[in-house]
Amino acid sequence: MKDYFFLAFNNLKRRKLRSWLTMLGIFIGIAAVVALISLGQGLQDYITEQFEMMGANKLIVMPGRGMGMMTADKLTSKDLNVIEKTKGVDMATAVVYSVSLIKFKDEVKSIFVIGLPTDKTADIFKEMGGFEAEKGRDLKEGERDKVVIGYLLAKDNGFFEKAVSLRDKLVIKEKEFRVVGIMKQIGNPGDDSQVYIPIDTAKEILDKKDEIDAVYVQTKDGFVPEQVAENLEKQLRKSRNEKEGEETFNIQTFEKLLETFQKVFSVVQGVLVGIAAISLLVGGVGIMNTMYTAVLERTKEIGTMKAVGAKNSDILLIFLFESGLLGLIGGLIGIVIGVGLGKGAEYIARMALGVSLFRASFPLWLIFGALVFSFVIGSASGILPAIQAAKLKPVDALRYE
Amino acid sequence: MAETQEIIKLENAHKDYRMGESVIHAVESIDLNIKKGDFIAIVGPSGSGKSTIMNLVGALDLASKGDIFLDGQNIENLSESELAQIRGRKVGFIFQTFNLIPTLTALENVMLPMMFQDIGREERRERAEKLLKDVGLEKRTNHLPAELSGGERQRVAIARALVNNPEVILADEPTGNLDTKTGRQVLEILKNLNKQGKTVIMVTHDLEMAREAKHIIRLRDGKIEK
Ligand SMILES: Nc1ncnc2c1ncn2[C@@H]1O[C@H](COP(=O)(O)OP(=O)(O)OP(=O)(O)O)[C@@H](O)[C@H]1O
Ligand SMILES: [Mg+2]
């Protein structure tokens, strides 16, 4: 074995430039695959983590037909009452939100304002957001003109030019608020530049009257969230007088969301990796081509080796090792480049997008799998040329000029 | 006892080459007995079948008809890997064009035949070094073939042919690519090997060299001239 390896390596060294060019095909492919999978895996980990932070026993009821769509449909406190009474619901809390102008010192910007209940039902929302006050405290019951700010507001140039501190004054829609708490970092810039005020005040200044933008629901222990979601749908349909399939509200469970996400995501990733894999196929053809050339070039050497006692299987293995080695070395370089690309993309995501919790992930199976895979591609591409070399008749090979 | 003395025996050996429609009879009805320790020179015009006979004897090729015995064993019915074993152990080839592997050093070239046999690393190196010393190349062990003269390359090839300690040395025009002086040196090495008991068969165009052998076989049109 060691000898075949030695002979194979020796031959690759002889044709350095050609060996490098041949490996190019493999390492581009492997680099792309490793980078894509590591980023995909990282993204999936990130999102799953975010979902898990929110908790699986939570539901969100929102107006409109589907998540994220602009809608004129509304939820009201009547709906909240229905929801609270539905079977399987432990607690429900209403939130309102809107984009509004905010002034700090002399700077005026638009910001996402969230109106939160001040009683203990607000915990549902907080748990789902996965956040807590890092400095100061949460909003208290009965408070009207206090505000909790997102992490970035407390940083110089994070949102305003100057950092906002506890006890500073902020003006939202001409009403003055005092900062009582600063959220700890959530990890994405959108969520980290919001402000939270008591819901009653929010309804007043944001002109919401009886409107609710979302109801966050916590299910009772022992109930399946999906089942509770169904109950809610039925009850709300009845009270809102809507037909099945024509609802003007929608309910999201995190399980469903996560599942959908993962499904869509695996397809996208599969397609991307598939495209990268095509370049591996091309790399394999490159190796095959190189090996056929090598067999022709070395026909006389093959004859000589047979004349000194090499069996067909010896010749076969020497050539297979050679092509396998082309794949393996190509794969090694590809992995290094791929890890570099993945880390680079992670860095860019952090710097440019501020997504600090996102990490490119390089599980062992990825590295090991990429290595084995590149060796297999190399060897597989070398099979036909190697068989051709092994089958050469000694006299014919020796006569070859 | 007389039987065991016969190391090579050809019985009615034929080799035909089919070239499309026509058939070339490279060698025809060859009967030949070569005794252990003999030194045979094969001479004859170009195309008379000298190389063909060497290839048959060395198990590089199979006869179209007839039998070839090497050390009492009929090699016509052997499998590919058994033939490879014979080539590796029983015979040592020396070619006109040396046929060294250009990427391997002199030492590695000599070690090559042992890679295909079960021989330990240490022993391989020792044997190869000793043989290179025997042919006067102890200072050239780490040179690539391209860095050696023709005579030196042929001496490396001789060392390689001897490394598995074969009984028979087959040299097909070993001096064909060498000047007279280096050619003589190679011939001296072959004569020495014969003195040490090896059976040597050498193809040559040089009648003067042929005369140094114990017996001469003349070939013409694929047949032995009586
Ligand atoms: N693979 C082959 N296919 C077709 N014809 C062949 C083949 N090998 C040898 N021959 C023919 O067989 C005959 C004998 O060839 P061989 O090589 O044995 O001659 P030779 O005596 O060694 O000649 P030289 O002195 O030129 O080396 C020649 O006519 C040659 O053309
Ligand atoms: Mg010849």
- Of A299, A392, A393, A395, the residue with max ligand 1 atoms within 8 A of its CB, to mutate for a pocket test, comes to A395
Structure tokens at A295: 């067999």
The answer to the question of residue B157 being in a domain is yes
Average pLDDT (A373-393) is 94
Ligand 2 centroid – CA A151 distance (Å): 89
Which amino acid, one-letter code, is at B162? L
Q: Is the pLDDT of residue A69 over 60?
A: no
Average pLDDT (B76-96) is 94
The C-alpha atoms of residue B91 and residue B170 are separated, in whole angstroms, by 7
Q: What is the pLDDT of residue A221?
A: 84
The CATH number of whichever domain residue B126 belongs to comes to 3.40.50.300
Based on the fold, state whether residues A381 and A320 are members of the same structural domain.
yes
Ligand 1 environment, Cβ below 6 A: A 399; B 17, 19, 24, 26, 44, 46-52
The residue from A247, A272, A304 where one domain ends is A247
Banded model confidence at residue A385, pLDDT cuts 50, 70, 90: very high
Higher pLDDT, A56 or A335: A335
Q: What is the pLDDT of residue A356?
A: 67
Angle, helices A16-54 vs A364-391, to 10°: value is 150
The residue from A223, A247, A271 where one domain ends is A247
Q: What is the pLDDT of residue A121?
A: 81
> Which phi and psi angles does A197 have, rounded to 5°?
-130, 165
Q: What is the pLDDT of residue B163?
A: 95
Based on the fold, state whether residues A270 and A232 are members of the same structural domain.
no
The C-alpha atoms of residue B58 and residue B44 are separated, in whole angstroms, by 19
Q: What is the pLDDT of residue A371?
A: 93
Q: Does the interface ipTM go beyond 0.90?
A: yes
| Sequence-ordered list of residues with C-beta below 8 angstroms from that of A81, at least 6 positions apart, any chain | none
> Looking at the 3D structure of chain B, how many domains does it have?
1
The answer to the question of residue A378 being in a domain is yes
The residue from A247, A280, A309 where one domain ends is A247
What is the C-alpha radius of gyration for chain A, rounded to an integer number of angstroms? Answer: 32
Q: Which of A20-34, A245-259, B94-108 has the lowest mean pLDDT?
A: A245-259
Banded model confidence at residue A73, pLDDT cuts 50, 70, 90: confident
The C-alpha atoms of residue B47 and residue B172 are separated, in whole angstroms, by 13
The C-alpha atoms of residue A136 and residue A179 are separated, in whole angstroms, by 9
The answer to the question of residue B50 being in a domain is yes
Q: Is the pLDDT of residue A130 over 70?
A: no
Based on the fold, state whether residues A347 and A380 are members of the same structural domain.
yes
Based on the fold, state whether residues A241 and A127 are members of the same structural domain.
yes
The answer to the question of residue B32 being in a domain is no
Q: What is the pLDDT of residue A355?
A: 66
Q: Is the pLDDT of residue A198 over 70?
A: yes
Based on the fold, state whether residues A236 and A368 are members of the same structural domain.
no
Q: What is the pLDDT of residue A124?
A: 79
CB-hemisphere CA count at 13 Å for A63? 18
Of B155, B192, B159, the residue nearest B174 (C-alpha) = B155
The answer to the question of residue B5 being in a domain is no
- Each residue of B163-174: pLDDT tens digit? 999 999 999 999
Q: Is the pLDDT of residue A93 over 50?
A: yes
What mean pLDDT is reported for chain B? 93
Let me know: does A100 contact A113? Beta carbons within 8 Å: yes
Q: What is the pLDDT of residue B91?
A: 96
Let me know: does A372 contact A340? Beta carbons within 8 Å: no
Of A77, A56, A59, A66, the residue nearest A229 (C-alpha) = A59
Please give the share of chain B, as a percent, with pLDDT higher than 70.
98
The answer to the question of residue B20 being in a domain is no
Average pLDDT (A152-173) is 90
Average pLDDT (A111-132) is 79
Let me know: does B44 contact B220? Beta carbons within 8 Å: yes
Question: How many CB atoms within 10 Å of residue B181?
Answer: 8
Q: Is B149 helix (H, G, I), strand (E, B) or coil?
A: coil
Q: Is the pLDDT of residue A125 over 80?
A: no
Q: What is the pLDDT of residue B161?
A: 96
CB atoms A300 and B99 under 8 Å: yes
- The CA–CA distances, whole Å, from A175 to A117, A178, B196 equal 18, 10, 114
CB-hemisphere CA count at 13 Å for A147? 30
> Looking at the 3D structure of chain A, how many domains does it have?
2
The C-alpha atoms of residue A37 and residue A285 are separated, in whole angstroms, by 23
| Stated pTM of the model | 0.75
Based on the fold, state whether residues A154 and A78 are members of the same structural domain.
yes
Q: What is the pLDDT of residue A268?
A: 86
- Each residue of B129-152: pLDDT tens digit? 999 999 999 999 999 999 999 999
Residue span of the structural domain in which A199 resides: 74-247
Residue A152 DSSP label: G
- Of B48, B173, B204, B217, the residue with max ligand 1 atoms within 8 A of its CB, to mutate for a pocket test, comes to B48
CB < 8 Å from B in window 293-312 of A: 300-301, 303-312
Which amino acid, one-letter code, is at A72? A
Residue span of the structural domain in which B144 resides: 37-60+81-224
Q: What is the pLDDT of residue B3?
A: 47
Banded model confidence at residue A144, pLDDT cuts 50, 70, 90: confident
The answer to the question of residue A62 being in a domain is no
Based on the fold, state whether residues A227 and A264 are members of the same structural domain.
no
Q: What is the pLDDT of residue B1?
A: 42
Let me know: does B217 contact B43? Beta carbons within 8 Å: yes
Q: What is the pLDDT of residue B2?
A: 45
Q: What is the pLDDT of residue A68?
A: 55
